[in-house]
Structure 1
């Protein structure tokens, strides 16, 4: 009986020790979800993730002495992944909004963007007022859906899953315009003659990293890392790389 108790205690100690080691290993890795379909913020090139958000996150992790474990999911699933505990954070050109702040915490803003209108050059849409009655495509799960519904009720919304789908619909004439984030719209217009982005923006907003409310320490550490790379010039080099000539 004494041997049996000792054996059970030993097994328990080994199990606890293993769990502790696994926990320590996990603490060195930040699990981050993204939807890499929104260039130049995040995208997949030759099978590898790249873009401003991706390189910024890796730079933050390096400043923290951590590693990033990436998982790709649709944009609409980013916040739910953080809420369910499947991810520690979400980095995917996510606007900081009051509604989202009720579900997750956000880091300090890391870049200013906003919703803009992408349309065909020489087309009927010259100002925001021209959107009324037109077919406007938006991406499911983004702020543009509710914003257009509330502020542009006369617009015929065409909702799609991916950012590129919006651009394709405008290109083939199944939508008159796309409402999306400024960086992606500007980049697409530059790379595709015949498209333009209206000078008048729909909104001006800021991007942040969404973090689980159960990990306030992670939010604090990310904010400190952001200050570090802003001070040492790494942040500005990334901005120059991804946005110079793209604004």
Structure 2
């Protein structure tokens, strides 16, 4: 007959073994949050996530020999999800900023973007100085909000949850312009001939993957994988697919 002491020791060993196995399994999966409403960076087509960021992360995680687990949430919830431990990292055309670096780590920049103005061709905004006093739509949680607060305090900000709603307000004339990232603005304007992106770019920004400060090894692995896919040509193939004329 097995003694009580032996039984407890056996159950404890099994429990610890199961816990370790679960930990190892978890370490093989990278949990990523994104807001797939920002083409061409990330969006949903035929019920599937696609876009530059999506393909890039799939290539990086494959290069790292790990599995990828996606979760879709609103942009304003991306950093909080990383901070709370609900995800290991976030990718969603996130600009690397000093303010964000206080709470999360960032990988090396994987693409250069920047803020631009999308407006109607027949509208009143022809240059950046024309923004003052106008209605400008921006997505909540993005750098566009603070930029307008600091640089154009006379702007009437129209803050919305979704990227598509921000663009639609310009199209129907409820906003005079939208301030957002260049890739998405350019793509939207191409599909809507009555809209245009001002030639004068507001800022030049770097996109990065936001990673929990508790996982410095993951940031290091992402950076190493990024260098490898740049060296083997995978990165450039993704860039060429999603951005006309290659990286800028």
State whether structure 2 residue 199 is matched by structure 1 residue 199: yes
State whether structure 2 residue 90 is matched by structure 1 residue 90: yes
State whether structure 2 residue 28 is matched by structure 1 residue 31: no
Structure 1 CA distance for aligned equivalents of residues 150 and 104 of structure 2: 23
Structure 1 position 192, deviation (Å): 1.0
Aligned match of 2:208: 208
SS of corresponding position for 1:95: coil
State whether structure 2 residue 47 is matched by structure 1 residue 47: yes
Deviating above 2 A after TM superposition, structure 1's stretches of 4 or more consecutive aligned residues are none
Aligned match of 2:112: 112
Structure 1 position 245, deviation (Å): 5.4
Structure 1 position 2, deviation (Å): 7.2
Q: Deviations over 1:15-73 (max 9, x none)?
A: 00001011111111000000000000000011110000000000000110011100000
Structure 1 position 122, deviation (Å): 2.5
Structure 1 position 191, deviation (Å): 1.1
Instruction: State the TM-score, normalized to the length of structure 1.
Output: 0.98
Aligned match of 1:187: 187
RMSD of the TM alignment (CA)? Answer: 1.2
Structure 2 CA distance for aligned equivalents of residues 159 and 89 of structure 1: 25
Alignment of 1:53-92 (within 5 A): 53-92=53-92
Structure 2 CA distance for aligned equivalents of residues 176 and 122 of structure 1: 10
Instruction: State the TM-score, normalized to the length of structure 2.
Output: 0.98
Segments of 5+ residues of structure 2 without an aligned counterpart are none
Aligned match of 1:3: 3
Structure 1 CA distance for aligned equivalents of residues 106 and 2 of structure 2: 54
Segments of 5+ residues of structure 1 without an aligned counterpart are none
Structure 2 CA distance for aligned equivalents of residues 245 and 225 of structure 1: 24
Structure 2 CA distance for aligned equivalents of residues 167 and 215 of structure 1: 36
Structure 1 position 244, deviation (Å): 1.2
